Structure 1
Amino acid sequence: MKKMFAAALAFAALTAMQAPDPAAKAAAPLSLWRLDCGTIDIDDLGVFSDTGLYAGEKKTLAASCYLVQDGDRLLLWDTGLDGALAGKPRDADGSLLKERIVTQLRRIGFDAADVTYVGISHYHYDHTGQVADFPKATLLTGKGDWDVIKVWPAAATPFGHWLKGDGKVEPLEDDKDVFGDGRVTILKMPGHTEGHQALLVRLASGPVLISGDQYHFTKNREVGGVPSFNVDRADTLASHDRFEKLAKNLGAKVIIQHEPDDIAKLPPFPEAAR
């Protein structure tokens, strides 16, 4: 019996050395950076309501992107305005980009090739402008959006690398636990586009809910507004309902990606939230 017990202990010790410890994996560092991916001057906010709100109002919207680090794995969430705009004067459409994402990543010690995943909230130009800078990353996009990207040239242009089959793409039909540890989840939030998505990041300091274009600014969220450029109103309202219940039930910090006032909710770059 003693020999059997000793053998069992030795086997258990060997197994413990060989098998990864789930608890250790879950304890890997989780960090969140807010990246500057441009601004857009809007001369008439009326297009952001299909019920006649905001007509004639002006606002500068932020184009925000986010980097999440889970141990040695990175998720880039959205890629902002076209990198060709970097360092140039504001263009005729009101768009301005100070510097490319890859430049910002270098300042915190990362290269484009280090990015494991690029998650796209939706296919609109101000969220996909620099995606081509990350050809080694697996593309995570809603299946409904991917179906549009494959047939609509205006949406397809930034995604040529993946459309040709040169990169890996996961068209998501439901929520996606990005790193498999339950802390970073892409959320299915259709309506604004066919496969629109939001992002939930469960930091040690508390959960952060990043909107995509579920809302475009604070007043829009306060009334549950729907923009005129929208695919499915009923789906958008249902996604509003889910978004708000998640925010309330999780006690999440909500970041509206286009709302300049929400930039201060996260540490200024190059600092990270943890």
Structure 2
Amino acid sequence: MKLYPIEAGNFKLDGGAMFGVVPKMLWQKTNPADSNNMIDIAARCLLIEDGNKLILVDTGMGNKQSDKFFGYYYQWGDDSIDKSLAKYGFNRDDITDVFMTHLHFDHCGGSVQWNKDKTILEPAFKNAHFWSNQDHWNWATKPNRREVASFLKENILPMEESGQLKFTSLPDSHFLENSELGFDIFFANGHTDKQMIPIIKYKGNTVCFMADLLPTAGHIPLPFVMGYDTRPLLTLNEKELFLNIAADNNYYLFLEHDAHNQIITVKHTEKGVRLNQVFNCEDIL
């Protein structure tokens, strides 16, 4: 098995929204804001090469939305999925599976694209299966009023219409061991219903793709929960459970949204679980 970081493009989000009830004087120590109160956000995806499978975890925002839409997110840098894939000798047609941690637009938007004539929306990975789970799919396709702006039909329905959609099994508890794709999955419900966190055994270590369970290193303290989360008290408990396991077992936490910290480990302290070490992807993957 080989793992590769895939940079899908950077953007900015409101710092207050990213840290909920936590005062700015606290969160700006780890996530400094610009003059518009916006903080740097990455869309760092993960490519898993395992035998004859090439699995892409999440796909970023994509590029099919309007200029007005992207104007809200202050995109910066020149990273893209295509450039990142090419760096490792791959292209979109090589992808066999796209695993979506959840269906918010900044995680799955790149899964669907316009055709050449901009008349039809189609899967952006024509040879891939697209993986979600039945409970989250139902949640996303019949969205609540809180999340309706994050679940965009144009990002979601073409995957089903193409016949390329598949669902993972659902566990009785938080953990699904040895899923259909060959890695364990932690299911979290605080951010959105049945978000999936891949847990990958790799070179004698464990690498966890943290998605929105832990967006940045600045979110490690338990009360530091995003304002976007639908059930923040549940997120707090899920973070506590997962971070304690991560500290006990020295898991490597791959951060999807942290523009400046790529992979981290955590440790137990008198104040609870806190940041231990920070690594670049090339140090671990």
TM range (shorter): 0.7 to 0.9
Residue 78 of structure 1: which of 58, 65, 82 is its match? 58
Structure 2 match to 1:139? 130
Contact kept, 8 Å, 1:48 with 1:54, in 2: the verdict is no
Aligned pair count reads 235
Distance 1:93 1:161 in 2: 24
Cα deviation for residue 263 of structure 1 reads 2.2
Inter-CA distance 231–243: structure 2 relative to 1 (3 Å threshold):
same
Which runs of structure 2 are paired with 1:130-209 in the superposition (5 Å)? 130-132=110-112, 133-152=124-143, 154-164=151-161, 166-174=163-171, 175=176, 177-178=178-179, 184-209=183-208
* RMSD, aligned CA: 2.7
Determine helix, strand or coil for the equivalent of 1:148.
helix
TM-score scaled to structure 2, two decimals?
Answer: 0.72
Inter-CA distance 273–33: structure 2 relative to 1 (3 Å threshold):
farther
Inter-CA distance 219–273: structure 2 relative to 1 (3 Å threshold):
closer
Aligned letter for 1:146? W
Deviates most, 114-123 or 172-181? 172-181
Contact kept, 8 Å, 1:190 with 1:196, in 2: the verdict is yes
Q: Write out per-residue CA displacement over residues 64-118 of structure 1, whole angstroms, 9 at most, x where no aligned residue.
A: 1010111121211110122348xxxx84421236243134223322232322221
Structure 1's unaligned 5+ residue stretches are 1-29
Cα deviation for residue 247 of structure 1 reads 0.8
Contact kept, 8 Å, 1:74 with 1:114, in 2: the verdict is yes
Is the helix fraction higher in 1 or 2? 1
Cα deviation for residue 32 of structure 1 reads 0.8
Inter-CA distance 125–206: structure 2 relative to 1 (3 Å threshold):
same
What fraction of aligned residue pairs are identical, expressed as a percent? 18
Distance 1:237 1:223 in 2: 6
Contact kept, 8 Å, 1:201 with 1:208, in 2: the verdict is yes
Distance 1:102 1:221 in 2: 31
Determine helix, strand or coil for the equivalent of 1:169.
strand
Aligned letter for 1:33? Y
Inter-CA distance 217–104: structure 2 relative to 1 (3 Å threshold):
closer
Inter-CA distance 158–189: structure 2 relative to 1 (3 Å threshold):
same
Structure 2's unaligned 5+ residue stretches are 34-38, 113-123, 264-278
Inter-CA distance 258–216: structure 2 relative to 1 (3 Å threshold):
same
Q: Write out per-residue CA displacement over residues 44-83 of structure 1, whole angstroms, 9 at most, x where no aligned residue.
A: 4111233243279512111110101111212111101223
Q: Does 1:255 align with 2:254?
A: yes
